Amino acid sequence: MTAHDAGYVALAEQIDAVLLTCDAKYAAAAGPRCAIELIT
């Protein structure tokens, strides 16, 4: 995960939002406390 990506994860965690991504590796990543939804 790049620093840019981590910023989006941190924002989603702060505002209790679902993070939408097209990247399957982020959807399967361990660690983020926000919900991550894979869009295809």
Give the start-to-end residue ranges of the domains of the chain. Answer: 3-38
Q: Mean pLDDT throughout 5-26?
A: 94
Q: In whole angstroms, what is the distance from residue 33 CA to residue 40 CA?
A: 22
Per-residue model confidence (pLDDT) at position 10:
95
Q: Residues 9, 39, 37, 1: is their CA dihedral positive or negative?
A: negative
Q: Give me the phi and psi of 11, to 5 degrees please.
A: -65, -45
Q: In Å, what is the CA distance from 14 to each residue of 24, 35, 40?
A: 22, 12, 25
Q: What confidence tier does 13 reach under pLDDT thresholds 50, 70, 90?
A: very high
What is the pTM assigned to this prediction? 0.80
pLDDT of 29 strictly over 90: no
Share of the chain above pLDDT 70, in %: 100
Interval 10-33 mean pLDDT: 92
Check pLDDT > 90 for residue 35: yes
